[in-house]
């Protein structure tokens, strides 16, 4: 998988979380170019990716963004992903001036309540978008 995903942009998310699935839908709607792929953290592909890259075991309450070279998580991942969004969402990167411990504190507060904030939401991707979702039963 390592060579196949070289340079690819990947969002890793909790596939059982309505809030997280809504976030994926948001990215699909607001990204500049349709080049970001998505992978639920519960899949074997996600586990393999993290192992092959020498990354710690992922936490389901954490959002991860692989920009093609490095892994960003929590608020850093979300803000890094904002660079890939159309205006006005791209200007949210300005929040990087806030110290990470403060941003991640807010992130952790939301993550702890994510299941209550938004109950079951299922991403309904178009056939074109479906190809960008990494599944265990597909070759990468």
- Strand ranges, E, within the chain: 9-13, 36-40, 64-66, 71-73, 133-134
Please report the pLDDT score of residue 64 as a whole number: 96
Please report the pLDDT score of residue 2 as a whole number: 46
Q: Report helix, strand or coil for 28.
A: helix
Considering the entire predicted model, what is its pTM? 0.84
DSSP result, 59-94:
PTT--EEE-SS-EEEHHHHHHHHHTTBPTTGGGGGG
Q: What is the pLDDT of residues 36-63, one digit of tens each?
A: 999 999 999 999 999 999 999 999 889 8
Domain residue limits, the chain: 9-128
């Amino acid at each position: 998988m390592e060579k196949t995903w070289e340079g690819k942009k990947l969002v890793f998310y909790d596939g059982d979380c309505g809030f997280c699935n809504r976030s994926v839908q948001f990215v699909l709607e607001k990204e500049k170019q349709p080049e970001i792929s998505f992978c639920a953290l519960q899949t074997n592909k996600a586990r393999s990716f993290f192992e092959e890259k020498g990354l710690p075991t992922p936490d389901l309450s954490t959002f991860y963004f692989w920009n093609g070279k490095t892994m960003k998580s929590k608020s850093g991942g979300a803000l890094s992903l904002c660079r890939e969004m159309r205006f006005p969402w791209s200007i949210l990167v300005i929040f990087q001036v806030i110290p990470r411990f403060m941003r991640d504190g807010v992130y952790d507060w939301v993550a702890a309540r994510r299941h209550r904030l938004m109950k079951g939401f299922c991403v309904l991707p178009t056939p074109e978008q479906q190809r960008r979702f990494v599944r265990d039963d597909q070759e990468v």
